[in-house]
């Protein structure tokens, strides 16, 4: 999820490619219970949609595969991974087809904050609305790092890959260690409720098919 300000900018930017811009979601405060989550073929999965507009269809596939199709949505996140966050090496492969605003990320969520290692994205770079924390090099690319304050003491760590991709391996420890070196330790990683390779759509339409391992 992204802040109201960034959402507004993104929605504005997306007007050119959408028949009509998606309605602004109601409350961008802390996320509540995921709409659907559990274990599927040995992986944790979660699917959450703010329900504000459009249609999102999430489908679990074999092993670590999932697919999602969305039309004129408000905001959703979906994906497979693990129910406990750890400094894993996470591989993923597949593709995202979306001309608007989307994120493909190694994503952890907790009631105290979120962490996005962004591998591919669409029309909006979330760090354009954040506090810069420099950059790091990992897994073949530079990542722009920033902290986004969503208010109510809810913070997001962001790594934004410069050389975008939809397949590869993320050495998450490189990111988590860097955040620590920058004092971005608002809440412990151990508080994260899950760690998934998430596809998120925001005010857009598209489809994705991703396999996590
Ligand atoms: C991740 O991969 C690196 C090599 O790139 C290795 O040194 C490290 O032990 C691996 N970490 C985990 C948790 O498997
Ligand atoms: C930011 O990263 C630090 C270091 O890994 C971690 O302890 C903290 O939980 C992260 N913050 C959020 C909001 O996920
Ligand atoms: C589709 C659906 O029921 N979405 C709900 C998911 O949960 C959020 C709260 O986190 C609700 O606002 C949505 O309506």
Domain that holds residue 179: 3-212
Specify whether 86 is catalytic.
no
**172 three-class SS:** helix
Handedness of CA 132, 100, 116, 6 (dihedral sign): positive
**182 three-class SS:** coil
DSSP β-bridge partners for residue 122: none
Rounded Cα gap, residues 130 and 157, in angstroms: 10
> Which CA distances in Å does 184 have to 37, 59, 158, 179?
28, 34, 10, 5
Rounded Cα gap, residues 25 and 6, in angstroms: 12
C-alpha of residue 134 to centroid of ligand 1, in Å: 24
What's the CATH code of the domain at 128?
2.60.120.180
Rounded Cα gap, residues 89 and 66, in angstroms: 19
Indicate which residue's Cα is closest to atom 1 of ligand 1: 89
- The whole-number pLDDT of residue 198 equals 98
List pocket residues of ligand 2, CB cut-off 6 Å.
Answer: 108, 113-115, 155-157, 176, 179-180, 184-189
- The whole-number pLDDT of residue 188 equals 67
- The whole-number pLDDT of residue 33 equals 40
Rounded Cα gap, residues 182 and 145, in angstroms: 10
* Stretches in the chain below the pLDDT threshold 50: 1-34
- The whole-number pLDDT of residue 25 equals 31
Q: How many domains does the chain have?
A: 1
Nearest to 194 by CA among 37, 66, 3, 49: 37
């Amino acid at each position: 999820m992204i802040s109201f300000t960034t959402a507004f900018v993104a929605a504005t930017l997306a007007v050119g490619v959408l028949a009509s811009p998606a309605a602004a979601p109601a409350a961008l405060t802390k996320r509540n219970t995921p709409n659907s989550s559990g274990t599927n073929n040995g992986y944790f999965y979660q699917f959450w949609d703010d329900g504000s507009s459009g249609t999102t269809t999430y489908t679990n596939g074999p092993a670590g595969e999932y697919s999602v199709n969305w039309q004129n949505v408000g905001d959703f996140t979906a994906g497979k991974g693990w129910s406990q966050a750890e400094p894993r090496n996470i591989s993923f492969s597949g593709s995202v087809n979306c001309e608007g605003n989307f994120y493909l990320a190694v994503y952890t969520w907790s009631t105290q904050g979120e962490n996005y290692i962004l591998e591919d994205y669409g029309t909006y770079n979330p760090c354009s609305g954040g506090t810069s924390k420099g950059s790091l090099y990992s897994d073949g690319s530079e990542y722009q790092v920033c902290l986004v304050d969503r208010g109510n003491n809810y913070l997001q760590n962001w790594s934004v890959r410069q050389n975008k991709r939809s397949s590869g391996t993320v050495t998450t420890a490189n990111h988590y260690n860097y955040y620590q070196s920058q004092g971005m330790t608002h809440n412990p990683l151990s508080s994260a409720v899950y760690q998934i390779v998430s596809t998120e759509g925001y005010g857009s339409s598209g489809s994705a098919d991703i396999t996590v391992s």
